[in-house]
Amino acid sequence: MDECMQQNLLNPTPQSVHVDLKLKAKIYQESKKIWRVALPSIISRVTSFATIVVTQSFIGHINSTHLAAYALVQTLIVRFVNGIVIGMSSATETLCGQAYGAKQHHMMGIFLQRSWLVDLVSLTLLLPLFVFATPIFLALGEDEAIAASAGYISLWFIPFVYSIVFALTIQMYLQAQQKNMVVAWLSAAQLAIHVPLSWLLVTVMDLGVAGAMCALCVSSWLVVAGEFVYIFGGWCHHSWTGFTMAAFHDIIPVVKLSISSGVMLCLELWYYAILVLLAGYMKNAQVSISAFSICLNVSGLEFMISMGMMGAAIVRVANELGAGDAAATRFSIKVVMATSVVIGAVFWILCLIFGSKLGYLFTRDEDVVVAVAGLSLLLAFTLLLNAIYPVLSGVAIGAGLQSKVAIISFVCFYAIGLPIGAVLGYVVHLQAKGIWIGMMSGVVTQTLALCYMTWKTEWDEQVLIASARLKRWHLKSGEENQHHNSDNHS
């Protein structure tokens, strides 16, 4: 028996060679579909996030108080609000992806308009967080000078977060139909404009914080303007048929799905925000906040790549479920997961090699640089984990399983991660390093739970659920109505 096995390994049969070639061809074709969505998404997310990091870098070279204030606003208030907006918008990915897979193209424009209504109302209700940022941070016990600067910076973020509503939802709408390359080009143009504009306003014209934030707002709205031109200009004629009152139909079920999506992603984004807040109570709050924020932004940049892979997972899972193919859904999950892990491993190695020098990209303060270097090893393993759990979350969003992920995130992050971080940071006196270890504990447990959930999901059953959802929310297109009327006349 052993000799036969060895012989087969040494001299594979034509049948086994054919199977291997067929598998490689399937992987290649699936990879093409994944990267067609992931690459533009990665480019757009990385460049968009890079504008925030560039702004932080310009502000950090003004003085450390403004750097800490920007870190507080961006990591606490903006993350908090973005968590809601991104989460509420993720319902657009589920619905548009499944509608495209089921060839209900006209419904995609309706779902996009519904998401604008839900997101704009949600964001407007959250504006007091920006207006009253200074008293909020003072009530939380933050340093008075940092809180005062944060109150000024937060007002500048208001036009920025409104641009996020349109930029995010349009990107989700376009990537569901594999037309998001235009978003990648617009985002790359945004960064190309943002850097020299920031230099002009901050360095040449010496406008300080106001100049840096003005550059951020201008560059972010340029992307939205370009997206509007693309959609309204006729490049999405199958999925965009103009503004319609149908966007107000079935708005409550969309709100319910949006809320479950919002809770799922908010629990993840707020988790990091609370950890930064804990860093603000350390002995040297300014250094702790700055170092923690720098590491989170480095992690965030890599996380944008993972979000691109997450977008690919959402689209591929939603498309295949909408098309009624459970086997293709399972295969897509395996390929996108393997691809993302390889990318994470590369960043893990790079951070291990260059982690001690990261701080110099953001500040000249040696204390902050040393604090960042002390967190670099933990940051490296965080980058590795970042490549896994966002993709699993994307699988859940594509299938409409957001509520289950929300429960998992709450338990892992808030019942496990935060208590461990607080104990290690304050009781064991590991400071920022202890908080980061706690953060990783929550991420590790969430990753394991999501792996188990994905493994146990019955994808044949999810196909039936997706089909029922699309039938329930389906509205006839103009062509279908005309066909129906002609049948009645005949």
User: How many structural domains compose the chain?
Assistant: 1
The CA–CA distances, whole Å, from 21 to 26, 34, 188, 328 equal 9, 20, 37, 18
Asked whether residue 299 is assigned to any structural domain, the reply reads yes
What pLDDT score does 129 carry? 92
What is the C-alpha to C-alpha distance for residues 86 and 32, in angstroms, rounded to an integer? 26
pLDDT < 50 stretches in the chain:
1-2, 5, 8-9, 478-490
Residue 312: give the domain boundaries.
35-471
What is the C-alpha to C-alpha distance for residues 131 and 108, in angstroms, rounded to an integer? 35
Residue 205 CA, distance from chain mean position? 34
What is the C-alpha to C-alpha distance for residues 337 and 333, in angstroms, rounded to an integer? 6
What pLDDT score does 190 carry? 92
Q: What token pair was written down for 283? A: 């002995």
Q: Please tell me whether residue 247 adopts helix, strand or coil conformation.
A: helix
Asked whether residue 203 is assigned to any structural domain, the reply reads yes
Asked whether residue 489 is assigned to any structural domain, the reply reads no
Asked whether residue 62 is assigned to any structural domain, the reply reads yes
Asked whether residue 24 is assigned to any structural domain, the reply reads no
What pLDDT score does 241 carry? 82
Asked whether residue 249 is assigned to any structural domain, the reply reads yes
- In this structure, what is the dihedral angle of CA atoms 172, 174, 175, 176, given to the nearest 10 degrees? 80
Contacts of 106 (CB under 8 A, 6+ apart): 238, 239, 241, 475, 477, 478
Contacts of 108 (CB under 8 A, 6+ apart): 96, 99, 100, 173, 176, 177, 239, 240
What pLDDT score does 277 carry? 66
Asked whether residue 442 is assigned to any structural domain, the reply reads yes
What pLDDT score does 179 carry? 83
pTM: 0.71
> At CA 334, angle to CA 332 and CA 340, rounded to 5?
100
Asked whether residue 280 is assigned to any structural domain, the reply reads yes
